[in-house]
Amino acid sequence: MHSHAFYQDENAAPTMNSKALPSRNLNGGVVKQTQATFSSIRAPLSNISNVQYTLHAHQAVAKQVQTQQRSLPAPVCTNLTTEQKPTFFQTPNAPTFDLDWSQMEQKNSSMLKSPGIDRLYEDDPQHVSSYCEDIMDHFKQIESRYLPDANYMERQQDISPFMRAILIDWLVDVHLKLRFQPETLYLAVNIVDRFLDVKQVSRDKLQLCGVTAMLIAAKYEEVFAHEINEYVRLSADSCSKDQIIRMERVMLSHLNFNVTVATVFPFLRRYLKCGQCNTRTQFMANYLCELVQQEIEMLQFQPSVLACAAIYIGNKIESALNNTPSIGWTYDLEYYSGYVVEDIQECVNFMVKVAKETSERVKNIAVRQKYCSETRKQVAKYVARAVASMNF
């Protein structure tokens, strides 16, 4: 007969209905017809025995446990004096401090309180609001890892900072004509600087270096990077297709193929959204960031600091244009960026200085023309007038 460990009656073979089931011997022959039904309640899997699991048995066990708990003696310290009673979390002769806990709690609560900007974009899957803060924390950790040496131009023997500025201004024009995304320009500038930091380049190869950096950045950032012949045409045939291909191999090998870097743009886009800046302020911040890209001195600042300084200046100018109280830095920007005004003030002064001298410089023609257009609200004109009359 069949044996079932989970049932009380070992001789009863369980069935799913009341029909008779044939009982077979080892040789396969039918011995007899038996009527089988469930004769007991199935025990839980933890009770691997043939004892029937009933409600009365469960209540009896629970009552026994409660009785044992009541019989345990309670700990008492009635025989101890005050000096002998145990004290916890106290150190003998520990120094005492007069702390204003109310101020500390208020400060901690303000530091930990999130403005909740990302909750406004929970329905936008491209915003990835659940991961925004983690992504930006990662960018801040790696932003200085792939920055070139701010003094690398001193090691170059045939080119100067002015030549670099002319090259980047030309790249701004190329970037605009090819209708690339903003991040492509910042990545191209980063590739140029990192390559010049580790490789000597002659002045007749500088434009080839710039156009190749734009090609590499476009391959990384763009959906359609254009054919190489288009870059040859934009360079006025100063370099050939074969030269660009060879230079691409040289540049990537010297950079160890590291093109995933944190440039100014991701910080700028994130903080503009966190500050809830309007369109004109966004254009002013982008204009200032592209403007200082041509200055070799900007390499002394981290990309996140450059983005914050540009937003600070844009907010101040926007407040002046609207005749509202001057608010350059808000709590939301301080929370999400991790910077206070004192942290970015040096970079703000540097940007204001560059913006004041822009009208006198030939090397900023493409950037000024780009942001003097109607599509970008002519913010270059607003910035030029504001930096000449305002204090930042």
Domains of the chain: 1-65 (no CATH), 147-254 (1.10.472.10), 264-389 (1.10.472.10)
The pLDDT of residue 360 is 64
Q: What is the mean pLDDT of residues 98-120?
A: 58
Structure-model confidence comparison of residues 339 and 72, the more confident one: 339
Query: How does residue 326 score in pLDDT terms, banded at 50, 70 and 90?
Result: confident
The pLDDT of residue 23 is 44
Q: How far apart are CA 311 and CA 317, in angstroms?
A: 10
The pLDDT of residue 61 is 53
Q: How far apart are CA 31 and CA 324, in angstroms?
A: 101
> Considering just the CA atoms, what is the radius of gyration of the chain in Å?
37
Task: For strands 21-24 and 30-34, give the pairing.
Answer: antiparallel
Residue 221 has φ and ψ, to the nearest 5°, of -100, -35
pTM of the model: 0.71
Q: 216-247 burial by CB neighbour count: b if 16+ within 10 A, else e?
A: bbbebbeeebbebeebbebbeeebeeebbeeb
Structure-model confidence comparison of residues 5 and 252, the more confident one: 252
Tokens 């008779």 label which residue? Answer: 20
- 195 phi-psi bin (left φ>0, alpha ψ -120 to 50, beta other): alpha
Alpha-carbon torsion angle 232, 237, 241, 243, nearest 10: -120
Rounded alpha-carbon distances, angstroms, from residue 223 to 245, 262, 364 = 20, 20, 29
Alpha-carbon torsion angle 8, 14, 17, 21, nearest 10: -140
Q: How far apart are CA 218 and CA 233, in angstroms?
A: 16
The pLDDT of residue 124 is 87
For 313, residues 6+ apart whose C-beta sits below 8 A from its C-beta are 284, 285, 288, 328, 348, 351, 352, 355, 383, 387, 392
CB atoms within 10 A of CB 135: 12
Summarize pLDDT for 313-323 with one digit per residue, the tens: 999 999 999 99
Cβ atoms of residues 7 and 50 within 8 Å: yes
CB atoms within 10 A of CB 104: 10
The pLDDT of residue 281 is 97
Mean pLDDT of the chain: 80
Query: How does residue 256 score in pLDDT terms, banded at 50, 70 and 90?
Result: very high
Tokens 């303000």 label which residue? Answer: 110
Structure-model confidence comparison of residues 360 and 226, the more confident one: 226
Residues in a beta bridge with 21: 34
The DSSP H or E segment spanning 34 is strand 30-34
Checking if the pLDDT of 304 tops 80, the result is yes
Query: How does residue 49 score in pLDDT terms, banded at 50, 70 and 90?
Result: very low
339: tokens are 């910077």
The pLDDT of residue 198 is 96
Of 333, 323, 321, nearest in space to 383 by CA = 321
Per cent of the chain over pLDDT 90 is 62
Cβ atoms of residues 196 and 148 within 8 Å: yes
- Highest mean pLDDT (candidates 103-117, 157-171, 354-368): 157-171
Summarize pLDDT for 236-249 with one digit per residue, the tens: 999 999 999 999 99
Q: How far apart are CA 28 and CA 34, in angstroms?
A: 16
The pLDDT of residue 105 is 41
Checking if the pLDDT of 95 tops 50, the result is no
The pLDDT of residue 34 is 43
Checking if the pLDDT of 268 tops 50, the result is yes
Q: What is the mean pLDDT of residues 216-242?
A: 96
The pLDDT of residue 20 is 43
